[in-house]
Amino acid sequence: MSYTPTSDRYQTMQYRRCGRSGLKLPAISLGLWHNFGHVDVLENCRQILRLAFDRGITHFDLANNYGPPPGSAEENFGRILQKDFAGYRDELIISTKAGYYMWEGPYGEWGSKKYLVSSLDQSLKRMNLAYVDIFYHHRPDPETPLEETMTALDLIVRQGKALYLGLSNYQPEEAAKAIRILQQLGTPCLIHQPKYSMFERWVEGGLLDLLEKSGVGCIPFSPLAQGLLTNKYLTGIPADSRAAKPHGFLQENQVSEDKLMKVGKLNELALERGQTLAQMALAWLLKDPRITSVLIGASKPEQLADSLQCLNNTRFSPEELTRIEGILH
């Protein structure tokens, strides 16, 4: 059945300017890290993407290695794009990344010019795109000169394969150097994508201030701490959760008694605010004007619809903020 997006899709979403740029991003963006690989049901992926666009989400975030298997999220996204969104490419912001292991041999990961250019070429082929809107270096490379990595990103924009550049997982000192080099090259850094949530707050130790001063946007990933900041863990570790999987990104030992106690107290406050814990955790990030957008994942359309309700209340009273700090410390 052919897809026609809803006509009021831009009325319900908030859009925020990305640093000092001409680009605005939706307050909530959709990440395809999990749930969009060949191991997943394609029709479910399609329904999530359709709902996202119907609700004003214009930004879809990928990386070369998303799946599983690696590359399959881009392939599936490319298929759905062609079938459902072919006439809407100019309304979409599509991002991808390179930095983590993708193929065998010395050129299949990290930050060399060889790897970054090759990886983006592969990504464009998988998604059947002429360009991406944002291309990120996914993690700093301790062995490649930063100048080489940044020159490669600059080259990619000059080649027309990406419109904007981003960094991910860079600490404040590394980010400051990279931002400076890109400014000197004449292709400024648009955005930084760090891990940030109520439980992971390292970005508050200088990165957010740096980004604000440099005119760079910020888009946190893992805002729900791999599901810890949802109602999933209120009564312990459910059998079907990420923490129960032996090789998942959330290990059982990360779900400590102390964490679960904090989750319970945060949940009480969320209920008082008329929100779910997940909605409050997303709203807590969005209360900061330095946050351009928050990157969420979804395994089914209902989950996405639930998360989007965080936009109904992103204000916190001083008392609520004090209470949250008391719980988290």
pTM of the model: 0.94
Query: 179, 176, 180, 183: which is closest to 206 by C-alpha?
Result: 176
- For 128, which DSSP code? T
Average model confidence (pLDDT) for the chain? Answer: 95
pLDDT of residue 18: 98
pLDDT of residue 242: 58
The dihedral of CA 140, 141, 146, 148: what is its sign? negative
- H or E element in which residue 192 lies: strand 189-193
DSSP notation for 181-236: HHHHHT--EEEEE-B-BTTB-GGGTTHHHHHHHHT-EE--B-TTGGGTTSGGGTTS
pLDDT of residue 245: 58
119 close to 64: Cβ distance less than 8 angstroms: yes
Interval 183-236: pLDDT, tens = 999 999 999 999 999 999 999 999 999 999 999 999 999 999 999 999 988 877
Phi and psi, residue 168, nearest 5°: -140, 140
Residue 326 has a CB neighbour count (10 Å cut-off) of: 9
Instruction: Say if residue 265's pLDDT is above 80.
Output: yes
Token pair, residue 107, equals: 């050129």
Q: Where are the domains of the chain?
A: 15-228+282-303
Q: How far is it, in rounded angstroms, from Cα 70 to Cα 67?
A: 5
Interval 101-131: pLDDT, tens = 999 999 999 999 999 999 999 999 999 999 9
- H or E element in which residue 150 lies: helix 146-158
- For 296, which DSSP code? E
pLDDT of residue 16: 98
Angle at 134 between CA 130 and CA 140, to 5 degrees: 125
pLDDT of residue 294: 98
Query: 189, 180, 175, 270: which is closest to 229 by C-alpha?
Result: 270
Instruction: Say if residue 313's pLDDT is above 70.
Output: yes
Interval 66-102: pLDDT, tens = 999 999 999 999 999 999 999 999 999 999 999 999 9
Antiparallel, parallel or unpaired: β 15-17 and 24-26: antiparallel
pLDDT of residue 243: 59
Homologous superfamily of 15-228+282-303: NADP-dependent oxidoreductase domain (3.20.20.100)
290 close to 218: Cβ distance less than 8 angstroms: yes
287 close to 314: Cβ distance less than 8 angstroms: yes
Q: What is the percent of the chain with per-residue pLDDT over 70, rounded to a whole number?
A: 94
